[in-house]
Amino acid sequence: MKLVFSRPKSMFDRQTHYCPGCGHGIVHRIIGEVIDELDIRERTVGVAPVGCAVLIYDYINCDMYEAAHGRAPAVATGCKRVHPDLIVFTYQGDGDLASIGISEIIHAANRGEKITTIFINNAVYGMTGGQMAPTTLPGQRTTTSPSGRTPDKEGYPIKICEMLSILDGSAYIARGSLASPQKILQVKRYIKKAFETQIKGLGFSLVEVLSMCPTNWGLPPAKAQKWVEERMEALYPIGEFKMPKEG
């Protein structure tokens, strides 16, 4: 029988520092479980972002780097090129990946870099206090779009999965959501598949996760989850966008 709340072996026994209802802790745990299930802890390398999840290395017990803001895919590339046998993943927020690091992620995907990216889309810059992100929804109020994002002034939300799917180098691209327990299980399946894509050497893999930032959204955790389902999923459809071509 499986104990639902047992800690994955590849995680430290430690309380996370995230706000109540934050999505980061959930996704960390999924990653820990997937590493356990694939039994790859001893050959897995993580690259932490700059953002709320910079301390992911305090929770996941494998070799890790902490990259500069947005540069995790480049750091992962350097590592993977030296050690092609290691499993290298980056974990990045939407400011990190979709704004300052947009160039690094596009080119890593386009090179078909054999790495896996877990991309947390919470529609704001969390760590710096809820400023507008490239993924912020039209009309969404943030600390730097106080009367709501207006696309004609601030542009449109960036759809990373759709963008990266069209690149020949990307192998597996999927988007999931943390809006319900079923969807969380689906995210786990996606993340596992992404790691498997890398293990099989099939190319670049990325899973975008629509995630909650109750603190900066000004919503209690339950409502935040509902907001992901109703608002974010409407703009960012969930599902698998690109499947790897098996050897």
Ligand X SMILES: Cc1ncc(C[n+]2csc(CCOP(=O)(O)OP(=O)(O)O)c2C)c(N)n1
- Is 49:90 a contact under the CB 8 Å cutoff? yes
Options 61, 90, 117, 122; binder of ligand X; rule CB under 6 A: 122
Segment contacting ligand X by CB under 6 A, of 26-34, 117-125, 145-153, 218-226: 117-125
- Is 30:184 a contact under the CB 8 Å cutoff? yes
Residue 163 found at the interface with other proteins (CB under 8 A): no
Residue 201 found at the interface with other proteins (CB under 8 A): no
Query: How many angstroms separate the CA atoms of 58 and 45, rounded?
Result: 14
Options 8, 24, 72, 238; binder of ligand SF4; rule CB under 6 A: 24
Query: How many angstroms separate the CA atoms of 81 and 60, rounded?
Result: 23
Q: Which of 163, 157, 178, 158 is nearest to 242 (CA)?
A: 163
Residue 62 found at the interface with other proteins (CB under 8 A): yes
Site string for other proteins, 67-86 (x = CB under 8 A): xx--x-xxxxxxxxxxx--x
User: Hey, is 133 helix, strand or coil?
Assistant: coil
Q: Could you say which of ligand X, other proteins, ligand SF4, none residue 22 binds, taking C-beta under 5 to 8 angstroms by partner kind?
A: ligand SF4
User: Hey, is 169 helix, strand or coil?
Assistant: coil
Which residues are near other proteins by CB under 8 A?
Answer: 41-45, 47-48, 54, 57, 61-68, 71, 73-83, 86, 103-104, 106-107
